[in-house]
Structure 1
């Protein structure tokens, strides 16, 4: 019989049945369960308005069954020659890698910034010079947003297409540049949760229309497209968001502001407690205060992390080495890939640890985690800051 983890790493929060009821009632009345139904259409409109409040241009939102498929379809919509090289940071979730390969391209694994832990335009420019890449998949790692305006300027100067994987950055990552598509996740562990789902957000209607068509196998539904309706225009996939998932997303969006404030407060108190207890023994990702944190990561000296994992295992505190192994360290069958030098990503990963975090974590849980981290850092030299 398995023993329940005393302090779990993540505990998803999705709307309860009472919150879902109005949307499920609509679904029952509509008798429309998938294929761009009315709940999905209304969800895209709600989200478009939300993003337009943070941009100076029209916004288009296309939902997908997952962020992973959303990324794959956006990359496919670039219509690059097969085997084109696409730059991606070493420190990110594996979906950033697999979507490039499944779109028919070759990932170029690049390094990250020592402070933000993100791929930047400057790093991408160097990687492109070395590799001859045609595109960049930048990542809002740990929810820390990318600079879309900066990437837009990079795209203009370099001629490389840029896509942003902002799977965990809803509410923090906006779409200020109309020519940079951004993909978000609505997985159960994200702040806007549909159980499963994703969305492609951009200022370019052509990008979103292509993604929508690709999400429906590539079937043409436009009588004015100059191509017969019902015929395949592209080789797509079945990546449509169901009406059931759209219902959950609506209810989640209704509660999002309150949940975001709660996540901010918990994260702030948690981090302050660790800073007071451990100070220079910890390095934090540089950037803005996130609107709705979902992951709690910190970097420690490697020896301290190893000790912490043992302490936490003994005390039934869950931890995770987020985004490890690095993308180039996976099985040989995950190919083809091209690796650039990644000394900073490797140094960050050697001490990176994910600690328990959710809207259900208690003050006592936080106290217990802080105590474990404090014990792990005793008599170990502070982490070397990367510069």
Structure 2
């Protein structure tokens, strides 16, 4: 029995770490002075150069491959439309992802094909894609950096060269970790809840300068040299969001340090409970390269409860709520179970309609609070309550004092 009086959001699930007004007010003054509010303004130009210096490190001849846009979803749509595939082309995508990944495929005029993910990394791997290709024909693959977990540099490059298929990578939550490529589009989100947020925004890094020129034209309704050469839309980032981005750029190192500290604290607090929980790790197909991969908590604290304990994850989350700890189940149910995607093709193990890993993740996952405002004390509190709940211990007189001290 849980007996406590509290604010149910005492430990929020997500809390953005954004620059304060004073740090971007001068950029707002620049906007007033320039009278330029959107349409590839000077602040956006500065922001694209700055984000390259922090995240991508492309040389001057390739910096134009970076195109900032209005959201991570916009980034995906721009990259997909840029492929210029025939309408109705099939695009392989994991079911274990956020809805935007799949809606971007549909809105771009293509048809998604749901596949499963690796049981260790929770990601669509080249190996899974190769196996699915024995049963379905696709024109492109859309792998996802699940919960910010990056792919090893080059594994999808090799896939591109071996198969000739197009790749658009959804690296929404992995801007600080995922390397870009000269073989495929890589898309990032700048939403406020991400590691590096500007409120709302996205970035497409194209494989070539020509590809980026096409992306930029599509982001402005398809205009090129005064003529509409292809059907685009309004995907542009405004000068106001670029202003927030410019204020956020000097905080890049600080944000990374804070994120690494949260990762470290969660791993430390959970280290003695490996018999109770498992976390996201590296796929076995990487072989020796597995040592190069990070373990979980890249952009979320997601755990899988040991099935042998026979504990219902939803019940655990309700008890966490009663103790003032917000939680959620990431990507549950899998997108193939949502009514909006009824009729979408599914290609599971050996061509079946079963996505066993996805459904297993859905059954046992609990997502814990994950943001830069957590302290060692608050993380220890979260983990101690979680363990007590999972193990069926009584919790009473919950003490919230100084959780954030």
**What TM-score comes out, normalization by structure 1 length?**
0.90
Partner of 2:139: 134
Task: Give structure 2 stretches of 5+ with no counterpart.
Answer: 1-5, 283-292, 349-354, 394-405
Q: Distance in 2 between matches of 1:262 and 1:115?
A: 26
Partner of 2:117: 112
Deviation at 1:362, TM superposition (A): 2.9
Deviation at 1:56, TM superposition (A): 12
- 1:296-311 equivalences in 2 (<5 Å): 296-301=301-306, 303-304=310-311, 305-311=313-319
Partner of 1:322: 330
Residues 108 and 57 of structure 1: is their aligned pair in 2 closer, same or farther, counting only changes over 3 Å?
farther
Q: Distance in 1 between matches of 2:58 and 2:386?
A: 38
Partner of 2:81: 76
Deviations 1:99-156 (A, max 9, x none): 0011111111111111111101111112223110110001001100123411111111
Partner of 1:334: 341
CA contact (8 A) 1:61 1:202 kept: yes
Q: Distance in 2 between matches of 1:147 and 1:56?
A: 25
- 1:62-73 equivalences in 2 (<5 Å): 62-73=67-78
Partner of 2:275: 280
Task: Give structure 1 stretches of 5+ with no counterpart.
Answer: 223-228, 381-387
Alignment of 1:257 onto 2:253: yes
Residues 64 and 56 of structure 1: is their aligned pair in 2 closer, same or farther, counting only changes over 3 Å?
closer
Deviation at 1:41, TM superposition (A): 0.7
Deviation at 1:4, TM superposition (A): 5.0
Number of residues of Structure 1 aligned to a counterpart in Structure 2? 368
Alignment of 1:158 onto 2:163: yes
Partner of 1:100: 105
Deviation at 1:343, TM superposition (A): 1.0
Q: Distance in 2 between matches of 1:192 and 1:376?
A: 33
Q: Which residue among 215, 221, 241 is the counterpart of 1:217?
A: 221
Q: Distance in 2 between matches of 1:340 and 1:247?
A: 44
Q: Distance in 2 between matches of 1:10 and 1:172?
A: 20
CA contact (8 A) 2:327 2:367 kept: yes
- 1:232-251 equivalences in 2 (<5 Å): 232-251=228-247
**What TM-score comes out, normalization by structure 2 length?**
0.86
Partner of 1:385: none
Partner of 1:372: 385
Q: Distance in 2 between matches of 1:19 and 1:213?
A: 31
Deviations 1:74-101 (A, max 9, x none): 1011111111110001111110010001
Deviations 1:22-54 (A, max 9, x none): 322222221111000000011112223445537
Deviation at 1:290, TM superposition (A): 7.8
CA RMSD after TM alignment: 2.2
- 1:164-203 equivalences in 2 (<5 Å): 164-175=169-180, 177-203=181-207
